[in-house]
Structure 1
């Protein structure tokens, strides 16, 4: 029987959104200076001010925190923060920055980082998903789990915005669920473990999507991941495919936009809102046109134009009245697995 080789994990990827800046400084500040892993961080707020985030996080603890740079090697004991408007990715043992299309309406995207770590880091990876809205990070977390990596999710009860942790637990129910103050210790414990080298081989869809995230040459329609979904992309109106990877569903278009279910629904709701207000505006304009046509008229002609204006205004008012019922419920409810008492 051939001997099984072992290794220690040496890559930590952390993703967070709304509310994550309440816990991230504590997580990084509690990690030791001799951490035997490189740490890559994507926080959606860094899309606006990555330089400020680097300054804040660099004051939190002994680990040096720097902005990620393209094609630079990953060094243990350092924290690399995604920069504004660029996806942060992993390829082999270096980091890449990419201006590929947004994923889940974000660039940098947590899923983009996590999926690349799944492909190139495999079982060497520890993924951490923090507080945030909707479900960015869940698909990538599932990919890392399928690749043999370790997964940590902030306890939803401890998160200011529990939606992202809940989505992560729904697809990786056996992830370590920890309150923010314990996450750093969970990371250190997972890094200290010796794990069997993974025989993971990324599937064709993961390879195609990570290549697309690196902004490589466009994918021919016949080579797109997944299968046609009979839906259009909310960002570019291009045709979309549905992709089922690691037991989780998401969507991608030929341009490279990628959507997880809750984020897709939220984007579609935005389009509905935009279309409804456009319809109200056009109806109001039509009513004014009929009023103008009625001015200076008399008899049957005036009554007809006034009646048309009134009917159109009623249609616009119906849209205004029912608007909140149509667009406000944007999240898909996801069941969170119940933990047995005393379990991690």
Structure 2
């Protein structure tokens, strides 16, 4: 195990201003490697490393698979790739998405905690939903330090609030105080191991890190991590197993996709919404067609046929209104799309 301290940071919506402010506070001789997952659109080239590189004295670059971990080097996850760590190097993979995300904050945090244990400091910043909570819990259980941005100053407080609810956080501070705190903590990290995980938790961590690295989930034993849930994966329709972590439900399918309870609800709700809009489209198209057929009958003098088509069009229009209300209410049940993914996070 490397003795180099690691600071792993996770952010989503509203995270870029927080990252810029935080990196601007770190000194040029910062003695830890820094790795960042910021949720960004998967199909847009990222300018995030260049933006963050102008924030302070530390060098910031997009993570490259196989690069060594170096003190004072900041590495940012590439679009649509997981950023992980090995003992002494960076690992970039195209493993299954987790909580609908690739890169995943949880995947980075778990991989850091798996090998580097008490040498890891995890930081959760502004964002929606709960990516980062499970990974921060793992860092804490493996003897590392857990830090969360103060929810009241975060642009989006869902991720900080989720972490605070589920993890025994060591520090909850505004970004303006994080730089000095990190510098102090990094220079005083303990040398002794502080792992408090059970054997079963260690085994699950090993499997989940392997999945994020792109290894075969079935061969790793993903189906042995929990009980069958009777639910299916929204991405691949594979069977999901469910298990508890710190009293909260999590899910994995046999191909490797992972979900917290909140992210799974969001995906299931989105599926219902999509189907409702498809049904609404079919009904509205039938209304347009029946009106045209009615008009044709009317033009040919077939008033009875025209009335029949017009009546059916009214019935279909009423049904479409019901389905439209269903689609809109279902949309409100979900957590909505992450603003960080609607456009390039480099804006």
Fold match by TM threshold 0.5 = yes
Match of 1:337 in 2: none
Per-residue deviation, 1:203: 2.0
How many angstroms apart in 2 are the aligned matches of 1:323 and 1:275?
8
Equivalent position to 1:197, from 193, 199, 211: 193
Q: Do structure 1's residue 243 and structure 2's residue 247 form an aligned pair?
A: no
Contact 1:251 1:259 in 2 (8 A): yes
Per-residue deviation at 1:216? 1.2
Aligned to 1:163: 158
Which segment is superposed worse, 223-232 or 27-36? 223-232
Task: Give 1:82 deviation, angstroms.
Answer: 0.8
With the length of structure 2 as denominator, give the TM-score of the two structures: 0.85
Deviation of 1:17 after TM superposition, in Å, equals: 0.8
Q: Is the 8 A contact 1:131 1:154 kept in 2?
A: yes
Contact 1:9–1:191, Cα closer than 8 Å, also in 2: no
Task: Give 5+ residue unaligned stretches, structure 1.
Answer: 1-6, 333-344
Work out which of the residue numbers 93, 112, 117 in structure 2 matches 1:117: 112
Cα deviation digits, residues 177-209 of structure 1 (max 9, x gap): 000101112212221224222345652222111
Q: 2:34 aligns with which of 39, 45, 55?
A: 39
**In the alignment, what sits opposite 2:232?**
232
1:50: Cα distance to partner? 6.2
Contact 1:9/1:194, CA 8 A, preserved across alignment: no
Is the 1:144–1:150 contact (alpha carbons within 8 Å) kept by the matching residues of 2? Answer: yes
Call closer, same or farther: CA 1:299–1:49 in 2, change over 3 Å.
closer
**Contact 2:6–2:121 (Cα < 8 Å) also in 1:** yes
Say what the alpha-carbon RMSD is for the aligned residues.
2.5
Corresponding residue of 2:211: 212
Q: Using a 3 Å threshold, how does the CA distance of structure 1 residues 8 and 90 change in structure 2: closer, same or farther? A: closer
Q: Distance in 1 between matches of 2:102 and 2:278?
A: 28
Please tell me whether the aligned partners of residues 118 and 189 of structure 2 are also in contact (alpha carbons under 8 angstroms): no
Cα distance per residue 1:155-177 (max 9 Å; x no partner): 00010111110011111143310
SS in structure 2 at match of 1:23: helix
**Gapped regions of structure 2 (runs ≥ 5):** 337-347
Does residue 142 of structure 1 match 2:137? yes
- Encode CA deviations 1:199-258: one digit per residue, 9 max, x unaligned: 456522221111111001341596423222111222222221213234442222222221
Distance of 2:255 and 2:268 partners within structure 1: 18
Matched, 1:319 2:323: yes
Q: Is the 8 A contact 1:9 1:126 kept in 2?
A: no
Asked if the contact 2:147–2:169 (Cα under 8 Å) also holds between the matched residues in 1, the reply is no
Please, which moves more after superposition, 275-284 or 242-251? 242-251
Q: 1:153 to 1:256 in 2, by over 3 A?
A: same
Work out the CA distance in 2 between the residues paired with 1:156 and 1:230. 35
Q: Distance in 2 between matches of 1:40 and 1:222?
A: 28
2:332 matches 1:328? yes
Range with greater deviation from structure 2 (141-150 or 195-204): 195-204
The match for 2:312 is 308
Secondary structure, in 3 states, of the residue corresponding to 2:123? strand
Match of 1:335 in 2: none
Q: Normalization by structure 1: what TM-score?
A: 0.86
Distance 2:306 2:8 in 1: 69
Deviation track 1:16-38 (CA, whole Å, cap 9, x = no partner) reads 01111112112112112222211
Cα distance in 2 for residues equivalent to 1:285 and 1:49: 34
Return the offset for 1:302. Answer: 5.6
1:256 aligns with 2:256: yes
CA contact (8 A) 2:287 2:316 kept: yes
The 8 Å contact of residues 9 and 190 in structure 1, kept in 2 or not, is answered as no
Which stretch shows the higher mean deviation, 159-168 or 309-318? 309-318
